[in-house]
C-alpha cells in the first residue's frame, strides 16, 4: 500500500503530461514531427544540425576550409581581402536542419526559435575570445516594409538574445537609407552595387570607438556585411566583427533580408 501514493503520483503525472501533450503537442523545431522528450529538436534533426557545424572555415568568406589551408583564419582566396570587418564567425552552414530552423524562424515566428537560435549564436560568441571585447550588438536592418509584413525583425531578436546572454547592449545604429532589391534576386556581381551606400548610422546611437558585433542570420556573398561594416567604421567604430547563424552558397534558397 505504501507504493500507492507514488504510483498514483506517477500515473497522475503521466496523465497530466499526456493532457498537456494533447493541448500543446511538443514538436521538433526543425521538422515539426511530434517528440516526447523535452528537447527543441528531434534526435534526427539534432544529428543533422551537428553535421552542419564545422569549426574549420574561413573567417572572411565563411567557406569550409581544411585547417591546413587556413592562415590567420583565412582561406587562400581571402588572404589579401579587406572586407571591412576583422573576422566573421558563423554557427553552421545554411543547409539541412539549420536551413529549416531559419526558415521557420523568419516565416513562422515562434518564441522558442528566437531563444534557440539566439542561444546558438550566444554559444558561438562564448567560445570566441576575440569577441569578449565587443561593446555592442548591432543587427543588420531589414527594409521597413518587410518588418511590417513579418511583424518583427529577425536580426533584432537575435541581437536581443545575445544582449541577454552577454550583458552587452543591442544597438540599433544601422538603418537603411534607400530602397534595395532583395540580394537573393541578384547575381553575385550585382550584390555589392545593390547594397553600396544603402546603410546610414543613426546619430548618437553608436558610441565612438565601439567594438561592434554585427548580427545577421544568413551570409551569402558577404556584400551586406562588408557594406555595413564599412559604414560603421566610417561612423567611428573601432572594430567590427560579423556574427551570423549560417553561411550559404550563392544560389541556395536563402530567405530575403535586404
Q: Footprint of Zn ion on this chain (CB under 5 A)?
A: 28, 30-31, 42, 45, 58, 60-61, 75, 78
User: To the nearest whole angstrom, how small is the minimum distance from the Cβ of residue 59 to Zn ion?
Assistant: 8
CB nearer Zn ion, residue 37 or residue 189 = 37
User: To the nearest whole angstrom, how small is the minimum distance from the Cβ of residue 30 to Zn ion?
Assistant: 5
User: To the nearest whole angstrom, how small is the minimum distance from the Cβ of residue 174 to Zn ion?
Assistant: 24
CB nearer Zn ion, residue 56 or residue 181 = 56
CB nearer Zn ion, residue 5 or residue 66 = 66
User: To the nearest whole angstrom, how small is the minimum distance from the Cβ of residue 240 to Zn ion?
Assistant: 17
CB nearer Zn ion, residue 75 or residue 246 = 75
User: To the nearest whole angstrom, how small is the minimum distance from the Cβ of residue 197 to Zn ion?
Assistant: 25
Cβ atoms of 176 and 204 within 8 Å: the answer is: no
CB nearer Zn ion, residue 13 or residue 77 = 77
Cβ atoms of 74 and 22 within 8 Å: the answer is: no
CB nearer Zn ion, residue 46 or residue 128 = 46
User: To the nearest whole angstrom, how small is the minimum distance from the Cβ of residue 191 to Zn ion?
Assistant: 16
Amino acid at each position: 500500500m505504501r507504493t500507492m501514493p507514488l504510483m498514483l503520483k506517477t500515473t497522475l503525472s503521466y496523465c497530466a503530461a499526456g493532457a498537456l501533450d494533447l493541448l500543446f503537442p511538443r514538436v521538433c523545431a526543425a521538422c515539426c514531427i511530434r517528440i516526447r522528450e523535452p528537447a527543441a529538436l528531434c534526435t534526427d534533426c539534432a544529428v543533422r544540425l551537428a553535421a552542419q557545424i564545422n569549426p574549420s572555415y574561413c573567417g572572411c568568406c565563411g567557406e569550409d576550409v581544411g585547417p591546413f589551408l587556413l592562415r590567420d583564419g583565412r582561406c587562400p582566396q581571402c588572404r589579401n581581402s579587406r572586407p571591412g570587418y576583422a573576422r566573421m564567425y558563423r554557427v553552421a552552414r545554411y543547409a539541412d536542419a539549420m536551413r529549416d530552423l531559419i526558415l521557420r524562424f523568419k516565416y513562422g515566428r515562434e518564441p522558442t526559435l528566437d531563444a534557440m537560435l539566439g542561444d546558438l549564436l550566444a554559444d558561438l560568441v562564448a567560445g570566441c575570445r576575440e569577441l569578449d571585447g565587443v561593446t555592442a550588438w548591432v543587427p543588420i536592418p531589414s527594409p521597413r516594409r518587410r518588418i511590417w509584413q513579418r511583424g518583427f525583425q529577425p536580426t533584432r531578436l537575435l541581437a536581443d538574445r545575445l544582449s541577454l546572454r552577454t550583458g552587452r547592449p543591442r544597438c540599433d545604429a544601422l538603418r537603411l537609407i534607400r530602397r534595395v532589391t532583395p540580394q537573393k534576386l541578384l547575381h553575385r556581381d550585382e550584390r555589392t552595387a545593390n547594397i553600396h551606400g544603402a546603410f546610414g548610422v543613426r546619430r548618437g546611437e553608436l558610441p565612438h570607438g565601439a567594438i561592434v558585433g554585427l548580427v545577421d542570420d544568413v551570409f551569402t556573398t558577404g556584400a551586406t556585411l562588408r557594406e555595413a561594416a564599412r559604414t560603421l567604421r566610417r561612423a567611428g567604430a573601432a572594430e567590427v566583427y560579423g556574427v551570423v547563424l549560417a553561411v550559404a552558397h550563392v544560389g541556395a534558397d536563402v530567405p530575403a533580408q535586404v
